[in-house]
Structures are given as C-alpha cells and as structure tokens.
A and B are shown apart, each in its own frame.
Chain A
Amino acid sequence: MFYRLAGVHHTRYETARALWPIPADRKQVIVAGLIALVAPFFLSTLYLGSYMLPWLIWSSAALSLTLLMGMAGQLHFGFASVMAIGAYTSIHLARLGIPFELALIGAGAMSAVIGTVFGAAALRVKGLYLVIATLAMQYLVDWVIINVPAISGGAQATLRTPEVSFLLFPIESLTSRYYLALGWAALLAVFLMNVKRTSFGRALTAIRDKDFAAAVIGVDPFRYKLMAFFTSSFMGGVTGAMLAFCFYRAVTPEQFSFNVSIQLVAMVLVGGLGSVIGGFLGAAFVLLIPIVLTNFVAGLAASGWLAISSNLLAHVPLMIYGALIIGFLLLEPLGLAKIYDNTRKYFLVWPFRHSRS
C-alpha cells in the first residue's frame, strides 16, 4: 500500500538495476534530499551547526570506514589517525596558499598513501591481529603529530584553518560549510552504493567472506586489500579535512584521539556493517544520542523530576546510552540498518504479513 509495488514491472535491465527500483524509495530519497537542502532555512543555528553539520561529517567518516570494515572485512581501529593526516595535510597545504580544492585532494592522497602503508599489514594478518596493527597506526600518528611542532603548530598545538573558498564560494558562513559537508556526504553515499554494484565491490565482498577462496576464483587479495585501504583512507582523509574546515575550524591533536577511532568503529557496527543508511544512522546514534540524553536528563533534573546529585546526574545519560547499545544489539545484532530494512519490508507488503526476500 505504502510502496505501491503493483504495476512496477521492469522490462529493461537498466531499470531493474537502478539504485532505487521502487518509485516509493526514490520519492523518500528525494524528500530526504530536499529536507537536507532547505535545512539551513528552517533550522536554527544551534541545530544546524551543532547537530546537522557534525552528523553529516561523522556520517561521511562512518561511510569511509564502512567501505573498509563492512565491504572488505578489514578491521581498522585507527581510523581517526587517517582523518588526522587528512586534516593536518589540508590545513598545511591551504596555509601554503594552495587552492582548497587541491588541498582536499592532497589531504586524501596523503591519507591514502600512509593508510595503505599501514594497511599492508593486512596482507599478513587478519582479525584481531589487524586490529592491533591499525592501533599501532593510531598511536604512531598521534605521537608524530604531538612531537613534531612543525605539524601540530607549536607549543599550544592548535592550528586554525585559514579562510578558503570552494569553487569560488567562500567557506566561511555556517550555511556554506553545511552545504559543503552535505555535498561530500551525498557524494560518498552515492559512491558507496555504486561500489557495491561494480566488480571492485564484488571483489571486496569476496575477500571479506574468505580471502583465499577469493584468490582461488581469481580475485587478487594483495591488490584488492590495498585498494580497499587506499580508497577508504582517501575518503577518510578528505573527511578529516572537512571536519577541520567545516566544523572545528581549528585543529588540535585531541580531536583525532583513540576515542574517536573507537567511536567510528561503533558507528559502523551499530549502524550495520557495509550499509550506507547504516553509516548515517550509526553516526546519528553514536554522535547525537549522548548529547540528546544529556540535555534530556538535565531538563528532567531542572524541572524537579530527578532529584539526584549532580555527579550522578552526569552519569545517568551514560547509563541509558549503554543500555541502549546493549538493547539495540540484542534486538537486532545486524545494526540499525537492519532495523530499517525490517521496517521497510514490513511496509512493503502491508497490510499482508510476509514479503519476498
């Protein structure tokens, strides 16, 4: 009823293989896109600048990581350091007077190269061992940034982003920064959805499922593992630059600490491995739920509903958050994307009970 499947017949391969073969899905995407486009006109600065903008950027980061972790099955626990390399590269390039567009590409390239070097560990080790190898990357990059003043920016270790413009639009006002982040997130989303339909994406899936089985059927694990690290790190590097220029506007080492890496992994896992909508949902969950809970609990306390000490008060949101994570994982181990998928399938054939697939 909602999706109106009746009458949707694909007579050509192109329509059947379209990104959204069902018109209702297409309409939902268009509506979501339109809402995102006009958001600056109806959202207050608070919600645009502190919720939408960071959500889009962290979603981009989760999407970059999900290519590696979800599609290619290579665990990465140091993705924040990849973003740090991108952020610092872009900021130093922009300060040297290189146009911002090129600085972004440079940021991606630098992250991709360094990320691939560390990713080479994946050629020898898998699973938990790869986690440790990528952790080493996190700590090495952190150490280098903190200990090389030329990178971190001297005693105070803070680098402010210079004024830049992207394709002639100055990236200064909140609106322009929002649109740039939106554009990047949209680009990544479309890219990732298409990757799944290419031979590259299928090769990554083969490697994820069993790398030597993939080798048997002619997928070169050496090449595709490195390509996965390269692509993912490139996207992560540009996202790091976006984070620096669109959101923080000043870069310090703490912004890319180990905690951030863990948060990114959590986004990918809670959202659903390898899923595009899962990237967005996971980022919203990990990034925004703590903020919303903190304000909710503080609001409850202010109106007298929750008379406890301020120390306990600060920890109540954490408890609820922890319970939420456990709850979601018990309810649906495949992540928020799967919950979305189940809901969609339910409405696909509503009012009947069962759907195909």
Chain B
Amino acid sequence: MRKFKRGLLAVGLLAGVAFSGVAHAQDNEPIKFGLLQDFTAVYTFVSGEYNQGQQDYLTLINEEGGVDGHMVEAIVRDTGNEPQRGIEAYNRAREEGAILVDFLSTPVSRALVDRVLSDEIVMITALHGRGDASAGETFPYIFPMMATYWSQATVLAQYIKDNEGGLEGKKIALVHIDSPFGREPVPVLEDLAEKEGFELSTFPYPSPGNEQSAVWSEVRRFRPDHVMIWGAGGGQPVSVREAIRNGIPADQIYSVVWLAETDVENVGADVMTGVKRFEAVSTGTDNPILERIQETVIDADLGAGEADNVGTTYYNIGVATMAVAVEAARLALETEGAPLTGPKLKAGFEMIKDFNAERLMPPVTITAADHQGGGAGRVSQWNGEAWEPVGEWGAAYQDVVQMEIDAGAKAFAEGN
C-alpha cells in the first residue's frame, strides 16, 4: 500500500510539473526552427560548422532574453541528403510546431518546395536550392536571402572588370562539376560574355570531382586569362591544385562561395596564396556578434561544437542565416504579434530592410518580390593566413540575374 501511495504521489508530482510547463509555455511560446540538414553524406564539408553557427547564434539570442521574451528552439536532425528522410524530418518538425525550415541540401529542398508552399512554412535556402526562388511572388515561402549562384557569378565578373583590366577580349574558363549546381552560372556568364565581349569556355568535370586532371589539361590549352571554379566539398581543393599545376597563377583563380579553411589546409596555405573567392558573409571573429557569441556562449561552455570553428567561413554563414531569421521573427512579433505562424514570419522576412547583422554581411533588403535580398557579396583573397576582403560589398548585373530568375519562375508557375 505504501508503495502504491508513493507511486500516486510521484504521478501527481509529474502531472504538476507537466501542467506548470504548459502554463508557462502559453505566456511565451518558443519559436521553433527546423534545422534538418545533411550531417552524414554529401554536405558534410559545410553542415557541421554551418549548423554550429546557427545553434550558437540561437543560444546567444536565448541567453540575451530571446526575441521579445520568446525563446528560439532549434530542432536539429540529420537527413543524410536523402529526400525521403528530409520529407519525414520536415513533417515531424512541422508537427512539433516549426515555422521555419533549413535543409542546406539541394535535393531535399527541391523535393519540398511544393509542400512548404502549400503548408505555409518558411524555407530558407541560403546558398543552395533553386536560384529562381528569389521571385517572391511565385515562391512566397522560400527565401534564398543571400546571393544566388547567378549573383555570385556576376559579382566575380564585376571584380575582374574593375580590378583586372576589364573583361573585353579576355578568355575566361569556367571549370565546373557536371551537375545542375555546376551548370547554374553558365547562362548568366554566357549573357555577360555577349554583353562585355569576353570569350567564355566551360569545362565540366565528372562528379564528385576527385579526379580532374584530364579537364585541366584542356583548360591549359585554352590559355585562359581568368579561371572560375564551380564546385563544392572535395572537388574544390582538387580544382585549385590542378589549376596551379597547369600553370594558372593562383591570383587568377576565382571560386564560388564554397572554398574555406578546410580547402586551404588540403591544398596548403602557401600554395593557396592569392586564390580569390566569392564571399557572402565576412569571415573571422572581428565582429560584435561573434564577440558576443564568444563571451556569452563559448566561454560559458554552451557552444554546440568545437570552439575552434568559431569565426570560420561556414560558421559565420550559419550565424548570418539565423541573424536574418531572428530579425524576421522580431519584426513579425512587433507588427503581427504572437503566436508566430508561417505567414507572419514570411511577412517579417519581407519587412527586412538594410539589415547587415552588425556588419557581418552586406545590407540585405528583402521585399515581397525579391527574396534574394539584393544579391550582394564581395571578393576575398587568401593572403597566406586568412581570407582578406579585396572588394567592397555590392551586387552586379542584377538585370541579367533577374532575367534568369524570371525565366525560372515562369517555368515553375507553368508547372515545371
């Protein structure tokens, strides 16, 4: 009997705790973000640091009192880059109340475009997914919110034009992975080639890109003035190494956003010196947000991963995505009030104006029509020790980019 009584007491206590939890939650319901990414398959080169940055930033916000008192809760799951697992993770996160999802995986994001549109859940596709999702009217709930691959190509071209003696008469080689992602900049660069009078030649290498020697001897025969490399993960250091082996000066190599500290390690810091890349978010810890993360999160042992990663390229990109998302949530709470929903958060995103996350990223203005947020970025160069910016934040040739966005959005609206 005594046992029974004790059991009853325990149940009562548990119920009490549960009820008080519910009562508390109603006051300030947490905002839930689903960070359902690929930690184990293809995107491992970025996901770890990226997600760590996202989680650390959310911890910082929560430690500082949340968004108007609302805590931000991250639902983190591995999808293994498999669409069917992404769909499961998405449906589960949605049932748990997530109003924003970030997959950081092009296959998973693509598979879920239609679902998030009909479920009215915000999906951020920073630096992955469909570039044409920048067309906010066709893709109301999808926010690329950083420069698409098209904009990255134009920023790189603009840099060559301004700093390397113009584009006219130049020979530019685009060496890319043979996948939809690798081919993405081709139409924009072709348009620019016609407009600016340079000669563009494209050299695809087979996925995943650990073997590129055949392609690069062709590139050498083409004798390019500048080379753009368009890959991700393990193919990138191979590209840089092969380019240098084939006599292309390091400072004439321009990379898509996916070139970071790990690639430098793989190539060798001294060999890499001079290589330039597109940069969407500044790298390093010299920034008020990063300093606060160090103080409040890392020093308090609340970090989500290794402290060494703080300030790396992909870590900072993760911080920036969450900075924009939290800003959107703050604006949405301010104007639309709690509890937040997908449509309210979407409205919040579209209110973001000249937001630069305390100088971490270029000023972003997201409107109902433009979900890319301007498409700005800059070029940075490996100086032997760090990535050093060599240009100002800015967007380039957005008219050409817009043509691509419109064409893609039109095809999507017609059912593609």
Contact = CB atoms under 8 A, between A and B. Distances in A.
Interface stretch (B47-55, B61-69, B220-228, B247-255): B47-55
Given A158-B416, A295-B77, A50 B91 contact: yes
Given A146-B180, A155-B184, A155-B408, A250 B85 contact: no
A96 to B, nearest CB: 13
Contacts of B412: 156
Q: How large is the interface on B (under 10, 10 to 19, 20 to 34, 35 or more residues)?
A: 35 or more
Given A146-B179, A154-B416, A295 B110 contact: no
B415 A162 contact: yes
Contacts of A315: 39-40
B305 A311 contact: yes
Interface string A150-176: 001111111110100000000000000
A160 B76 contact: no
Contacts of B411: 154, 156
A250 to B, nearest CB: 6
B399 interface: no
Nearest to A142: B207
Interface stretch (A11-19, A29-37, A214-222, A286-294): A286-294
A318 B305 contact: no
B162 interface: no
Interface of B: 39-41, 48, 51-52, 55, 76-78, 80, 82-85, 87-89, 91-92, 95, 106-107, 110-111, 113-114, 130-132, 178-180, 183-184, 187, 304-306, 404, 407-408, 411-412, 415-416
A310 B76 contact: yes
Contacts, number: 112
Interface of A: 44-46, 49-51, 54, 95, 146-147, 152-160, 162, 247-250, 252-255, 259, 287, 290-291, 294-295, 298, 309-311, 314-315, 317-318
Contacts of A298: 76-77
Given A252-B110, A290-B80, A315-B40, 5 more contacts: A54-B88, A254-B106, A291-B88, A311-B48, A315-B39
Given A54-B84, A255-B107, A158 B130 contact: yes
Given A50-B91, A248-B83, A255 B111 contact: yes
Given A160-B114, A160-B416, A49 B48 contact: no
Contacts of A158: 110, 113, 130, 416
What are the 7 tightest A-B residue pairs by CB atom distance, in nearest-first order? A314-B39, A50-B88, A254-B107, A157-B180, A314-B78, A46-B91, A50-B91
A318 B40 CA distance: 8
A251 to B, nearest CB: 9
B161 to A, nearest CB: 25
B293 to A, nearest CB: 16
B85 A295 contact: no
A146 B176 CA distance: 14
Candidate in A248, A309, A310 with the most chain B CB atoms within 10 angstroms:
A310
Majority-rule SS of B interface residues: helix
B107 A46 contact: no
A160 B130 CA distance: 14
Contacts of B91: 45-46, 49-50
11 contacts: A50-B88, A50-B92, A146-B179, A154-B411, A156-B411, A249-B114, A252-B107, A254-B83, A255-B111, A298-B76, A315-B40
A298 B107 CA distance: 23
Contact of A294 (B78, B83, B304): B78
Contacts of B52: 310-311
Contacts of B404: 155
B45 to A, nearest CB: 13
Contact of B110 (A156, A294, A311): A156
Given A45-B91, A159-B416, A314-B39, A250 B110 contact: yes
A287 B78 contact: no
A66 B230 CA distance: 40
Contacts of B178: 146-147
B341 to A, nearest CB: 18
B416 A153 contact: yes
A290 B86 CA distance: 12
Contact of B92 (A295, A310, A318): A295
A293 B130 CA distance: 30
Contacts of B304: 309-310
Nearest to A58: B84
Nearest to A318: B40
A317 B78 contact: yes
Contacts of B306: 309
A50 B51 CA distance: 24
Contacts of B83: 248, 252, 254-255
A62 B123 CA distance: 33
Contacts of A154: 408, 411, 416
A155 B92 contact: no
Nearest to A317: B78
Contacts of A249: 114
A162 B415 CA distance: 7
Candidate in B78, B107, B132, B187 with the most chain A CB atoms within 10 angstroms:
B78
Nearest to A153: B416
Contacts of B39: 310-311, 314-315
Contacts of A250: 110-111, 113-114
Contacts of A311: 39, 48, 52, 305
